[in-house]
Chains A and B, each alone.
Chain A
Amino acid sequence: MTGTLSWISTVVQGVLLGGLYAMFAMSQSLIFGVMRLTNTAHGDFIILASFGVFSVAVALGLPPAVAPWLAMILMLPIAFGAGYVLQRLVLNRVVGRDPLPSLVVTFGLAIVIENLLQEIYTADPRSIESGGLNVASISIAEGLSVGTLPLLTFAVAVAIAAGMQWLSGRTALGRSFRAVSDDRDAAQLMGLDHRHIYAMATGIAFALVAVAGALHGMKTTFAPADGPALLLYGFEAVIIGGMGSFYGTLLGGIILGVTQVIGFRFDPGWGIWLGHIVFLGMLLFRPTGFFAKTR
């Protein structure tokens, strides 16, 4: 009986972890979907956001139950602006049919961010103080409880997936996203400035990165060199879920989260490995993902 219960607990933990991975993934999927740009610095931007929220929260000097949330809200416009400007000044110059320039430039950015963070904050792991929220839990049944912060993170991920689906399907901006994604030149003839639309997409993606960075930093410790791992988890969630659907990405994150947690249960050394293997198996047997809308 306790065996079954502990398995249920493991799966629930995995689902909630998947919410965080989905958040890493949705911003990546937005940028890739709109401009076919693979941002290899994505994980480093998440870590940068974690450090940003960490520093702002400390500077605010408010009680730790409030400070990280206020810091996260303050970071949203900053992240949006940073994303918009980065796209206009740098990434728009390298977006194109040839993936090489954008890969090299974002890879270069990743190295710059990681080493600047190392210079400023040293290689020591940090965490964002959340006033005990990271260890609080809610009891669901006898012997089964879930962490409050992971539950909250999952709820935010679901809300973002719904919000992004709405933005993409029901708003003028979402229509422009889809238009420049389908045919940039035709969209331009209809009066859409793709440089602005791309920058809007990256701006929104960076705002999502700020939220993901804040929640990641409250949940666990983080260090400057952690970025690549987060990039890979987000990327795997995008591919497992299938391009073009935010709910698909959410599900991709959940599959990855559950797989990793089950792997960890067998042996702590194999959790991440098992997640990668499921991703590679997915590529081999169902390369378009579960919920692909576009290819």
Chain B
Amino acid sequence: MSATFRTFEVHRATRASRAGGLVSLAIVAFLATLPLWAEAGTLREIDELACYLIYAMMWNLLAGYGGMVSIGQQAFLGLGGYALLVMGNFAGINPFVAVPLAAIVTALFAIPVAQIAFRLQGGTFAIGTWVIAEVFRLSIANWSAVGGGSGTSLTALRGIEKATRIHVTFWLCLSAAVIAIAATYLLLRSRQGLALLAIRDSEVASESQGIHVRRTKLGVYVAAAFGAGLAGALYFLGNLRISPDAAFTVNWSAFGIFIVMIGGIGTIEGPIIGALIFYLLNKIASDFGTWYLVGLGALAIAVTIKFPRGLWGGFSRRFDVHFFPVQRRLVLPPDEKGGSFHA
């Protein structure tokens, strides 16, 4: 190694990422026209896909970038749904306006919850968050004003025409999914994103480099709760009915983990691909009921052991393709040794 300074450039974009941006825009523009010609059933399916995608994206942010593996994000999904219900049915707020408000309420709940959850680390954090989700489920199941254990309907939507309701719900779901992907992407490319990656790799080393570990983790936890709350509000806006068992079921975590692990944890593309695979599997195989779930569980085990990077992670590593690159590449002039490397 010579002691002289070399000239270098830091590349953030790739050829694929420029193409990826354009293709994504085209896909979103196409999807936005769906309410004009597609059937209500198709719209509802895409609504649900969007909710799963947002939820999985947030789980990915928390576990794949923040290093916080949670089995309790359904706490925030359910809270989002119930916040929507309370604002719509009791406070008389327009349910569509209540969707972002419900996500904000959920994020506010996450701040005190984090004070308890952060007492635990690693595997115990995962189960501790599950206990917290159970506390929310049981509390709401005992609250008769929102229907207790059997749940209730979103009566606030009564005065709205059916076609309007379906179309607006669809556009809300689509824009929320786009915002969730874009916001995660921008966050990870920012200074805070770099700090987050450092914390995931070593909390002690990051702290010694001047990163506020606790504050950064809290920020990610609250952001992930916001996203999960948004997904919950949208899901139950389309579902019209909510019950504690549907809102706070651990199946949400199971599906989120499946989507992220199959697609590829720690990437933006992974959850998108995982959500599409999950959607297709659901369409093809959900008639098999319990066997379908046995297959999902077994697939998650096999992928984690054999392909821990997931489908997209393996593919992008093999062919060096990144549609949403969050890494910084150091590019040295061609006459010097070394090509590029990822940070």
Contacts and interface: CB of A to CB of B under 8 A. Distances in A.
Interface of A: 32, 36-38, 40, 90, 93-94, 99-105, 107-112, 114-116, 118-119, 228, 231-232, 235-236, 239, 267, 269-270, 272-273, 276-277, 279-280, 283-284, 287
B221 interface: no
A105 B293 contact: no
A40 B71 CA distance: 9
Nearest to B308: A101
B1 to A, nearest CB: 31
Interface string B107-131: 0000000011001101110111011
B116 A40 contact: no
Interface band, chain B: 35 or more
A111 B296 contact: yes
Contact of A115 (B122, B127, B290, B301): B290
A241 to B, nearest CB: 13
Given A107-B300, A228-B250, A236 B69 contact: no
20 contacts: A40-B127, A90-B305, A99-B123, A100-B69, A101-B305, A103-B69, A103-B71, A104-B304, A108-B300, A110-B297, A111-B296, A115-B297, A228-B130, A232-B130, A235-B127, A269-B142, A273-B142, A276-B134, A276-B135, A284-B116
B interface secondary structure, majority = helix
B27 interface: no
B141 interface: yes
B291 A119 contact: yes
Interface string B280-291: 000000000011
A280 B132 contact: yes
Nearest to A287: B119
A38 B124 contact: yes
Interface in B115-168: 115-116, 119-120, 122-124, 126-128, 130-132, 134-135, 138-139, 141-142
A231 B305 contact: no
Contact of B131 (A110, A114, A280): A280
Nearest to A122: B290
Nearest to B291: A119
B298 interface: yes
Nearest to B293: A115
Nearest to A224: B290
B304 A105 contact: yes
